[in-house]
Amino acid sequence: MSSVRYRGRIACAVAVLASGVILAAPAAAAENSPPPLTTRDASALAAKMAATLGDGTVGSYYDQSAAQLVVTVADTAGAEQVRTAGAVPKQVGYRKSELKAVTAELSRKATIAGTSWRLDPRSGKVLVTADPSVTGTDLSRLTNLVRGFGARAQLRQTGSRLRPLLSGGDAIWGQGLRCSLGFNVHDYSGKPAFLTAGHCGVATNDWWADSGNAQHIATTQQATFPGNDYSWAAYDQGAEGPSEVNTGQQITGAGDATVGESVTRSGSTSGVHQGTVTGLDATVNYQEGSVSGLIDTDVCAEPGDSGGALFDGSTALGLTSGGSGDCTSGGETFFQPVPAALSAFGLTLP
């Protein structure tokens, strides 16, 4: 495989989960149910509803079976706005500010390695996760804190540890490590570059197309981790890759993920896997530090998949950050949103 084909690889991440009743429309309005939406249309509508409802919604999710967007609401006025916009309202017990107060308290008192949390629009709660490394006084502190939130939060424990999916290998090779290429992009001057995970970029300045470090392909320009988890590297002259991932799927732009959206991940260790977006704006506390604003999914990933691509058709969604589990038993993976990475570095895609 040429160095060009090494550019479309994908990476890994970690996250958290969280109930409600869909507000039924009057029987007479059954014939006027919202029209079916594509996932991209649902994503655009979700952003519009978030801006319109503000504190009156804790998020939305895509119902694949009905091809409709379900939007959480705190009151009947919000429900009517949602119906008018062409989505399905779902009553939940709390406003966004009430759940954000929970995550703020978690950040102050429970930033413990091996934990994560996010607002879950399906349940209308904050879902808090602890991996097996959280034990003893740390687990007691977390458990007591979550109990104190009452019905606003829910704690679950995973069977495997949360970690960045870094491996020390088809892939891009750094100085003593292997990651996966996310997406090919261009810098402000139009020169070719690529995105990968931030924890990969902070670990190496140079990238090669082979494990023996014989074919140099790029140099890291900027990297952010923890806090965020994205980096970019400028290609050497003649080494740039195509605007596609290694499945052959052309990538024509970047977009925001939607809860319930079907997605595909490609990584250099475990290959191509499908799954669903389970949450947004997740915070994950790795041993190396905390990362916020992540996409949570039930897609599996393994070490070496870090930095790899998460996408839906031709739309780039995320870069693999970390997660728990593997592709034999299944797992949970977190992704850094691509639009945030492009904005932070002034890059364009494709």
Q: Which of 306, 312, 321, 324 is catalytic?
A: 306
Residue 309's nearest CA partner among 342, 347, 268 is: 268
199 is an active site residue: yes
**Burial label, 21 (beta-carbon count in 10 A; 0-12, 13-18, 19+):** exposed
Radius of gyration, CA atoms only, the chain: 20
Out of 120, 170, 229, 298, the active site residue is: 229
Residue 321 designated active-site: no
Distance CA 342, CA 349 (A): 8
Q: Is there a contact between 116 and 322 (Cβ–Cβ < 8 Å)?
A: no
Q: How far apart are CA 323 and CA 50, in angstroms?
A: 27
* Torsion (CA) 193, 261, 69, 130 in degrees, nearest 10: -100
Catalytic choice (43, 199, 268, 273): 199
257 token code pair: 């993920």
Length of the chain: 350
Round to whole Å and give the CA distance between 299 and 276.
7
Do 58 and 50 touch, CB atoms closer than 8 A? Answer: no
Q: Is 216 a catalytic residue?
A: no
DSSP 150-178: GGGEEEEE-SS--EE--B----EE-SS-E
Rounded distance, CA 137 to CA 169, Å?
37
Amino acid residing at 125: K
Q: Residue 48 corresponds to which amino acid?
A: K
Active-site positions?
199, 229, 306
